[in-house]
């Protein structure tokens, strides 16, 4: 057990799913291994959690064929000493996160799940999410929706304008109690829950309250080449385009 200021924690293990193919990037290479300011995107993401004193360990989840290269070219090359395991993921993100949670075994009271494709996450946000987890059962970051939202039908015709006042765009990292998120993933597999967009959705289906704290505008998820260029602008603005 570690005492940090007024807060008492057991271990915090970060699970980073990175087994996706990233087909929307239009690249033959998985997006998490694409270059971002001279480093693989995944390396930059992992460095954020390596730097956080509140994170005790990191489990990286990649496709089976990428385990050796991820260990050699990212974990070992960049001295990511907090990485305790590099494990094989599944066809869907949900399966990959479950593999990561199971690899954490019972060593953790808290599981911190973060998208590998969010390399712009800051140390400050990671710390705020973890500290907020002390007072709640599940905590996720998000930002209020600013744009006008409209629901449309299959023909592309507006059905109605959606009230945006209570809507937030949700980000990662998300923190959960180990036993809650493990049970949620097991039930999702047993009962074949569909429409899962993030891990907090599974927790909601369990009837467990999820609390939201403010995230960061720059904590974007890289899904297209335009997102990658925007990330390069924020991380290395002096580089030639």
DSSP per residue, the chain: -EEETTEEE--EEEEEE-----GGG--SS-GGGSEETTEEHHHHHHHHHHH-TT--EEEEEE-GGGHHHHIIIIIITTT-TTEEEEEE--SSHHHHHHHHHHHTTTS-SEEEE--TT-TT--HHHHHHHHHHHTTSSEEEEEEE--S-EEEE-TTS-EEEEEP-TT-EEE-S-EEEEHHHHHHHHHHHHHHT-----SHHHHHHHTT---EEEE--TT-----SHHHHHHHHHHH-TTS--
Lowest-pLDDT range, 58-62, 112-116, 219-223, 237-241? 237-241
Whole-number pLDDT of residue 6: 43
Whole-number pLDDT of residue 90: 86
* pLDDT tens digits for range 93-108: 899 999 999 998 766 7
* pLDDT tens digits for range 168-200: 999 999 999 999 999 999 999 898 887 677 899
CB 204 within 8 A of CB 195: no
- Domains held by the chain: number: 1
Burial class (CB in 10 A: 0-12, 13-18, 19+), 22: buried
Q: Is residue 240 part of a domain?
A: no
Average pLDDT, the chain: 89
- Domain range spanning residue 202? 6-235
Q: Is residue 196 part of a domain?
A: yes
Give 205's pLDDT tier (boundaries 50, 70, 90): very high
Q: Is residue 241 part of a domain?
A: no
Q: Is residue 187 part of a domain?
A: yes
CB 49 within 8 A of CB 114: yes
Q: Is residue 219 part of a domain?
A: yes
Question: Which residue, chain included where needed, has tokens 């710390």?
Answer: 127
Is the pLDDT assigned to residue 39 strictly greater than 80?
yes
Is the pLDDT assigned to residue 135 strictly greater than 90?
no
The CATH number given to whatever domain includes residue 222 is 3.90.550.10
Nearest to 103, CA basis, from 117, 127, 119, 83: 83
Is the pLDDT assigned to residue 209 strictly greater than 80?
yes
Q: What spatial distance separates the first Cα and last Cα of the chain, rounded to whole Å? A: 47
Q: Is residue 1 part of a domain?
A: no
Q: Is residue 122 part of a domain?
A: yes
CA distance 138 to 135: 9
Whole-number pLDDT of residue 21: 63
**Whole-model pTM over 0.85:** yes
Give 110's pLDDT tier (boundaries 50, 70, 90): very high
Q: Is residue 134 part of a domain?
A: yes
């Amino acid at each position: 057990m570690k005492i940090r200021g007024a807060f008492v924690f057991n271990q915090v293990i970060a699970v980073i799913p990175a087994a996706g193919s990233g087909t929307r990037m239009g690249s033959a290479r998985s997006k998490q291994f694409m270059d971002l300011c001279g480093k693989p995107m995944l390396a930059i993401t992992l460095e954020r959690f390596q730097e956080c004193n509140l994170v005790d360990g990191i489990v990286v989840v990649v496709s089976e064929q990428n385990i050796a290269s991820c260990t050699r070219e990212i974990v070992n090359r960049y001295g990511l000493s907090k990485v305790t395991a590099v494990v094989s993921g599944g066809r869907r993100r949900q399966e990959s996160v479950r593999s990561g949670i199971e690899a954490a075994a019972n060593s953790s009271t808290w599981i911190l799940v973060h998208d590998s494709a969010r390399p712009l996450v800051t140390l400050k946000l990671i710390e705020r999410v973890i500290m907020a987890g002390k007072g709640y059962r599940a905590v996720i970051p998000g930002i209020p929706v600013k744009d006008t939202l409209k629901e449309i039908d299959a023909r592309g015709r507006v059905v109605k304008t959606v009230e945006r006042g209570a809507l937030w765009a949700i980000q990662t990292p998300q923190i959960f109690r180990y036993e809650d998120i493990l049970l949620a993933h097991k039930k999702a597999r047993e009962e074949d829950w569909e429409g899962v967009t993030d891990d907090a959705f599974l927790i909601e289906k369990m009837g467990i309250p999820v609390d939201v704290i403010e995230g960061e505008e720059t904590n974007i998820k890289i899904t297209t080449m335009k997102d990658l260029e925007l990330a390069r602008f924020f991380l290395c603005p002096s580089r030639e385009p």
